[in-house]
Amino acid sequence: MKQVAGLFAGVLILAGGAAGAQTPPSASAPVAAPAAPSTVAPQWTVQDFAALPLMASPALSPDGLHIAARVAVKGEQRLVIADIAEGPNRVRQIALGDNDLNWWQWVNDDWLLAGIGAETNVQGAPWYLSRVVSLKRDGSKLNLLAKQVAAQHADDVIWIARDGTPRILLSYQSSIYVNEPGFWPKVDEVDISTGRMRNVVDSRDHVRSWYADAAGTVRMGVGYNDSTRTAKLLYRPDARTSFRVIDRADRRRDESLVTPLLFTPDPTKAIASDNHAGTDALYELNLGTLELGKKLFEAPGFDIGWVEKDASGTALGGVHYTADAPMVHWFDTNLANIQADLDKAVGDRHARIMSTSRDGQRLIVHVGTADQPGVYYYYDTANGTMSPLSRVSERFPGTVRLAPVKTIRYKARDGLEIAAVLTLPKNRDAKNLPLILLPHGGPFARDSEAWDWWVQFLAWRGYAVLQPNYRGSSGYGTAFAEKGEGQWGLAMQDDLNDAVDWAVKQGIADAKRVCMVGASYGGYAAMRAAQRDGAKYRCAVSYAGVSDLAAMMRYDSRFLNHGTRKDWLKEQAPDFAAVSPINFAAQFSSPILLMHGKKDRRVQVGQSREMAEKLKAAGKVDGRDYIYVEQPLGDHHFSREADRLDFLQRLDDFLKAHNPA
């Protein structure tokens, strides 16, 4: 495919060097007990809060002797491979050039995969391409998989061998043209050490997702036809049998398919999640009848998140979910016992098992709290000791506790109970404080009690920070999510205003010193606040916000299944024009700071750029009524430390001018 050939250049392994991280331990220390809080008041800087995580998402190799993690190197994020044992080249940086690092995963003790992405111009339009590279642990070899045949999407790894061989199943497109068979992904078995590929399942019309069991047999495919809004479920019990359609669903009638989270050793059984009882829970699934069986786990009042398979890949290892804070339930007895021991050892902090070796003996554990970024530990259960691996932040010592965080609940004006995360400035009375109302993005997402550099910065500056999980947020069940339908900028916005009223009524917030700050959908809400509810907010700040829903829909029309996305957006906001801030520039009555990254691939930079142009055309004064800042290298996720720092500094200056603490 000529349009993408040569795009993923500049991927390079750099051996040696510490990559800016604490090196892995060579000696053990006792399991960490809670450290005494520091009695000295530290003098933080804006740079401390803007710093990228020193280490993020570390993953152990199957033998537990090697680590792959995202590490901050000179203000940018790199993939680093490190050996636990001492050695001359025990830390290796992976330089990915201008490509995004989207994920990584070990295949065996010598090889791992990394999912990368990059934007290029295809037939006059910007396209985002995805690929998989295989990396040899010692830095001696790198392969770009499906290099000569991959089209736009080629990073869907649906199976990894568990016998130590370097084999995977890769689902990928081989054409960008919808009228060609290769537009729909095929599945190949790939030897990642050589790049050799062998076809396993051919493309099928409209089938975008394939699923394999633990033995590497592709057992299921899910197809969707956007023009008819219909889905189909293809299934076979073994590799010798042909696929047949066993279920269909019509999205126009709100029908959906139940797909397995994992296949069990019994070819007629699987594990799936379903929300028929109001919240997502885990069930046994009969593949012959598609009937749900025994309920295996639920978190009353909350949806479950993702599951972890056990070492065999055929049974549940654990299930993650978020209540007021992130939680996990372990089905694996060994991990359940380890978790219980860790919980006892760390006191009021939280211990999270991040990654385990295949035998469950070696683990990476994160210990921290919502007011402390925490530390990653290497835990070898054979000798019962944990060793510090790396702090999450090199700026905040493990003993420090910043602003306290808790969950509160308030009633919206129609009586709906809403949870919100409240962070209060440390060592200040929670009385008549300036308030930052900080709605999350999504909007189908949610906030919880977890470390947040942005929130902690604001609290350090003296603000109370309130993060409402307004109607339409995820995690609280079907009925709560559905209450957001048709309510973008309306009842969802009222929920935000009601959160302010709660904080004022409690005496926590000064009603005359409130500012709304948000990103993505939160940025949209901040624009809407400045336009619709200026009497309540002294100012507003939008990062990567949406100002024009119709323009967002036109942008989405470039992507596959855009008709379904259009249906969804119309459900959320039936009248785009009535709730798009860009149509009401003259009504903006609160000063607003608009910031956007030029490389944002989620929300186009034009959403903020054109909002600023409309404000100027409406007679608003640049520098007084609005400020627009475009970050040339910024993306949607604050991937670069320089962009984080720039944002916090400008946010700080803006708040000092319009809502000083």
The answer, yes or no, to whether residue 95 has pLDDT greater than 80, is: no
**pLDDT for position 120:** 86
pLDDT band of residue 127 (cuts 50, 70, 90) is confident
pLDDT band of residue 89 (cuts 50, 70, 90) is low
Rounded to an integer, the average pLDDT of 348-372 is 95
pLDDT digits (tens, 9 = 90+) for 272-292: 999 999 999 999 999 989 999
The answer, yes or no, to whether residue 39 has pLDDT greater than 50, is: no
The answer, yes or no, to whether residue 25 has pLDDT greater than 50, is: no
Rounded to an integer, the average pLDDT of 583-605 is 96
CA 186 to chain CA centroid, Å, is 27
Rounded to an integer, the average pLDDT of 474-500 is 97
- Tell me the percentage of the chain whose pLDDT exceeds 70: 92
Which helix (H) or strand (E) segment holds residue 491: the answer is helix 491-505
pLDDT band of residue 560 (cuts 50, 70, 90) is low
Which range is least confidently modeled, 293-297, 386-390, 579-583? 386-390
**Exposure on the CB side of residue 519, measured as CA atoms within 13 A:** 18
* CB distance 247 to 256 below 8 Å: no
**pLDDT for position 104:** 96
Instruction: Please give the residue that has the higher pLDDT: either 602 or 60.
Output: 60
Give the residue among 85, 91, 86 at the shortest CA–CA distance from 21.
91
**pLDDT for position 61:** 97
- Tell me the percentage of the chain whose pLDDT exceeds 90: 79
pLDDT digits (tens, 9 = 90+) for 447-473: 999 999 999 999 999 999 999 999 999
Rounded to an integer, the average pLDDT of 51-59 is 94
pLDDT band of residue 188 (cuts 50, 70, 90) is very high
Give how far Cα 268 sits from Cα of 134, 235, 236, 263, Å.
34, 11, 10, 9
pLDDT digits (tens, 9 = 90+) for 397-439: 877 899 999 999 999 999 999 999 999 999 999 999 999 999 9
Rounded to an integer, the average pLDDT of 129-157 is 94
The answer, yes or no, to whether residue 88 has pLDDT greater than 60, is: no
pLDDT band of residue 24 (cuts 50, 70, 90) is very low
The answer, yes or no, to whether residue 337 has pLDDT greater than 60, is: yes
* CB distance 197 to 146 below 8 Å: yes
**pLDDT for position 415:** 98
The answer, yes or no, to whether residue 628 has pLDDT greater than 60, is: yes
Q: What is the rounded distance in angstroms from the CA atom of residue 355 to the CA atom of residue 282?
A: 22
Rounded to an integer, the average pLDDT of 586-600 is 97
Residues of each domain in the chain carrying CATH 3.40.50.1820: 405-658
Three-state DSSP at 334 gives: helix
The answer, yes or no, to whether residue 241 has pLDDT greater than 60, is: yes
Q: Which CATH class is domain 405-658?
A: alpha beta
pLDDT band of residue 123 (cuts 50, 70, 90) is confident
**pLDDT for position 437:** 98
Give the residue among 596, 660, 581, 587 at the shortest CA–CA distance from 627.
596
Q: Which residues pair with 122 in a beta bridge?
A: 125
* CB distance 596 to 631 below 8 Å: yes
